[in-house]
Amino acid sequence: MTAERHVVAVDVGGTSIKAALVDRDLRAVEVLREPTRRTGETVDVAQIAELVNRLGEGHDVVGAGIAVPGIVDDDLGLVRAAVNLGWVDVPLRDRLVEATGVPLLVRHDVRTGGLAEFTVGAGKGAADALFLPLGTGIAAAVQVDGRMLGASGYAGEIGHVVVDPGGAVCGCGTRGCLETLAAAPAFARRYAERTGRTIADAAEVAALLATDPDARAVWRDAVDALATALLMAVTLFGPAVIVIGGGVAEAGEALVGPVRDELLSRLKFQRRPEVVRAALGQDAGRVGAALLGWQAAGE
Amino acid sequence: MTAERHVVAVDVGGTSIKAALVDRDLRAVEVLREPTRRTGETVDVAQIAELVNRLGEGHDVVGAGIAVPGIVDDDLGLVRAAVNLGWVDVPLRDRLVEATGVPLLVRHDVRTGGLAEFTVGAGKGAADALFLPLGTGIAAAVQVDGRMLGASGYAGEIGHVVVDPGGAVCGCGTRGCLETLAAAPAFARRYAERTGRTIADAAEVAALLATDPDARAVWRDAVDALATALLMAVTLFGPAVIVIGGGVAEAGEALVGPVRDELLSRLKFQRRPEVVRAALGQDAGRVGAALLGWQAAGE
């Protein structure tokens, strides 16, 4: 056993589980990635425990942080519902503590990424900040007065505010949610609906912006939808910084710049937030989970 | 000087200032009410100090709480902007502490009312709760994870979320804000626009509901606007209890019942909150300010 202390950071997804052994400087010393294992529809909690235990062999692991999607009660470490994992009311923290013996915190994946961006990333030092990763789905991590909002797992579901009344039906059953226009799959789907041509993803739509009016229309609708949703969020939460991340934002200023301009043009008396790209990219989940691990260790 | 300790609770409004001497059981022992005094456009801070000092004569006053409208930084006790009072960047707490020598907290009037409703009123015991008083303007006090959101004074401006894109121009300059349909003055104004007949207020519209289709249309639009705004708020804040108060809600279940039904019918995966009438009515500001006073006294 080495003298140096480490934590394990785990990012649980429907397709793969990423786990890393992380040092006090938040550097990943060792990384494991496995396809997510299921029994029937249900992801095996045991796989997560095995990854924590395997990474810990020969190391002094003092804590672990686990990021999971769904409706997650961070305080209880309880996953109320995670459709992609087939979980309902899974007391994940208690089960993992039992199976690993490691002090451990569980948190919603977006709030975990937000913790990273607000602690060492693009929102560093802001007491009032909002992290908006645009992926397969959309949710926000919201910090107000220096504290991340949980509300037993119900806070921050900005992907399901209505920005287009009477628009397309969302997976949640409501018409015109933000996700129908600005989640990653919406870009290719909406481009195909307009043109009959199939493309892969938002990055391909972005690549066509200079030459293709249909791509521009799809992009403009997404920008407008994001500005509408963020206007609600600014009016209700009052963030000083908005950090936009996730796969779609990797298109860079093509998205963040227009969203910033459109949002700021609509503000009246509200706080005028900075609108910036995420700093940590795909690492936000791991860094946030590592920060949780150090919290669990009491540091 | 009596042995019993008291606090002073002050509710500052554009028309009048209400102040009360309040005991440990939150009972008002003595109440003063004065027209709000101005020098030019600007309300005199000295009037508030005088009321605190006058109520304190012959009593052991150990703290005071001051509720004020506008954009208020509760932590700093700083009024950033209060149009009705003619104030910009007034360090109210510091000035009043200097003029009275009493430990003192300043808070936004709606958050003060929310503190009362969440502590001893209709939202008692709820960690995640939203207080929505419908008055001349509309703002919300929002508590998440047991803590009232401040965001340097910018949180909770639900009166200015857009519920009717392209609708009437709000005082803030945006079209279709919640206030244009559901603040107290909107009821009489909208009824007059439809019918050419002048009526006094929302209570008169409520009294016509059984017999007048125009009154019903105005009411229905307000209910729909409130449900739309509360759907956003539930999706973003995740409250377990929504407390509706203010003058308009005094119409009772004619408003709260339909808003509850409409909101609950629109929810999908979101938390399903209780939707209830405020318990403290016009006393919420005084009770909240008294609670602040006891906080200021260190109790």
Reply yes or no on whether the pLDDT at B251 is more than 90.
no
**List of residues 6+ apart from A70 with CB closer than 8 A:** A79, A80, A81, A82, A83, A84, A85, A87, A108
Query: Does B231 contact A162 at a Cβ distance shorter than 8 Å?
Result: yes
> Average pLDDT, stretch A133-139?
93
Query: Does A236 contact B235 at a Cβ distance shorter than 8 Å?
Result: no
Residue pair A152/A73 in contact by the 8 Å Cβ criterion: yes
Q: How far apart are CA B133 and CA B281, in angstroms?
A: 9
Query: Does B238 contact A157 at a Cβ distance shorter than 8 Å?
Result: yes
> Average pLDDT, stretch A246-272?
92
Residue pair B94/B76 in contact by the 8 Å Cβ criterion: no
Q: How far apart are the two ends of chain A, measured CA to CA in Å? A: 21
Query: Does A154 contact B270 at a Cβ distance shorter than 8 Å?
Result: yes
Burial class (CB in 10 A: 0-12, 13-18, 19+), A252: exposed
B250: pLDDT confidence band, cut at 50, 70 and 90? confident
What would the pLDDT profile of A177-224 be if each residue is shown by its tens digit? 999 999 999 999 999 999 999 999 999 999 999 999 999 999 999 999
- Which ranges constitute the DSSP H helices of chain B? 45-56, 92-100, 109-119, 179-182, 184-195, 202-207, 213-237, 253-266, 284-296
Least Cα separation, residue B295 to chain A (angstroms): 19
Reply yes or no on whether the pLDDT at A2 is more than 70.
no
pLDDT over 90, % of chain A:
93
Nearest to A116 by CA among A257, A295, A271, A249: A295
Sheet containing B78-82: give its strands across.
B71-73, B78-82, B87-90
pLDDT over 90, % of chain B:
93
B84: pLDDT confidence band, cut at 50, 70 and 90? confident
Which residues in chain B have their CB less than 8 angstroms from residue A158's CB?
235-236
State the pLDDT at residue A120: 97
What would the pLDDT profile of A213-237 be if each residue is shown by its tens digit? 999 999 999 999 999 999 999 999 9
Minimal Cβ distance to A172: which of B149, B155, B268? B268
Residue pair A252/A267 in contact by the 8 Å Cβ criterion: no
What would the pLDDT profile of B42-65 be if each residue is shown by its tens digit? 999 999 999 999 999 999 999 999
Reply yes or no on whether the pLDDT at A117 is more than 90.
yes
What integer best gives the mean pLDDT of chain A? 95
State the greatest distance between any 2 C-alpha atoms of chain B, in Å, as a whole number.
61
- Can you give the three-state secondary structure of chain A, one letter per residue? CCCCEEEEEEEECCCEEEEEEECCCCCEEEEEEEECCEECCEECHHHHHHHHHHHHCCCEEEEEEEEECCEEECCCCEEEEEHHHCEEEECHHHHHHHHHCCCEEEEEHHHHHHHHHHHHCCCCCCCCEEEEEECCCECCEEEECCEECCHHHCCCCHHHCECCCCCCECCCCCECECHHHHCHHHHHHHHHHHHCCCCCCHHHHHHCCCCCHHHHHHHHHHHHHHHHHHHHHHHHHCCCEEEEECHHHHHCHHHHHHHHHHHHHHCCCCCCCEEEECCCHHHHHHHHHHHHHHHHCCC
Per mean pLDDT, which range of A2-6, B42-46, B260-264, B291-295 is the poorest? A2-6
Minimal Cβ distance to A236: which of B161, B240, B269? B161
Per mean pLDDT, which range of A3-12, A82-91, B247-256 is the poorest? B247-256
What would the pLDDT profile of B195-228 be if each residue is shown by its tens digit? 999 999 999 999 999 999 999 999 999 999 999 9
Classify residue B37 by its DSSP letter: P
What would the pLDDT profile of B100-159 be if each residue is shown by its tens digit? 999 999 999 999 999 999 999 999 999 999 999 999 899 999 999 999 999 999 999 999
Query: Does A147 contact B147 at a Cβ distance shorter than 8 Å?
Result: yes
Domains of chain B: 5-113+283-296 (3.30.420.40), 124-278 (3.30.420.40)
How many CB atoms sit inside 10 A of residue B42's CB? 13
Classify residue B133 by its DSSP letter: E
Classify residue B271 by its DSSP letter: -
Minimal Cβ distance to B152: which of A75, A128, A142? A128
Query: Does A145 contact B151 at a Cβ distance shorter than 8 Å?
Result: yes
What would the pLDDT profile of B150-208 be if each residue is shown by its tens digit? 999 999 999 999 999 999 999 999 999 999 999 999 999 999 999 999 999 999 999 99
Which residues in chain A have their CB less than 8 angstroms from residue B180's CB?
none
Give the number of C-alpha atoms closer than 13 A to the C-alpha of residue A83, restricted to the C-beta side.
5
Query: Does A235 contact B173 at a Cβ distance shorter than 8 Å?
Result: no
Reply yes or no on whether the pLDDT at B1 is more than 60.
no
Reply yes or no on whether the pLDDT at A93 is more than 70.
yes
State the pLDDT at residue B247: 86
A134: pLDDT confidence band, cut at 50, 70 and 90? very high
Reply yes or no on whether the pLDDT at A1 is more than 70.
no
- The encoded tokens of residue B113 equal 């009312």
Q: How far apart are CA B105 and CA B268, in angstroms?
A: 40
State the pLDDT at residue A3: 67
State the pLDDT at residue B3: 67
Query: Does A237 contact B128 at a Cβ distance shorter than 8 Å?
Result: no
State the pLDDT at residue B253: 76
B83: pLDDT confidence band, cut at 50, 70 and 90? confident
Element spanning B64, H or E: strand B60-68
Which residues of chain A have a Cβ shorter than 8 Å from any chain B Cβ?
Answer: 71, 75, 81, 127-128, 140, 142, 144-145, 147, 149-158, 160-162, 172-174, 228, 231-233, 235-240, 266, 268-271
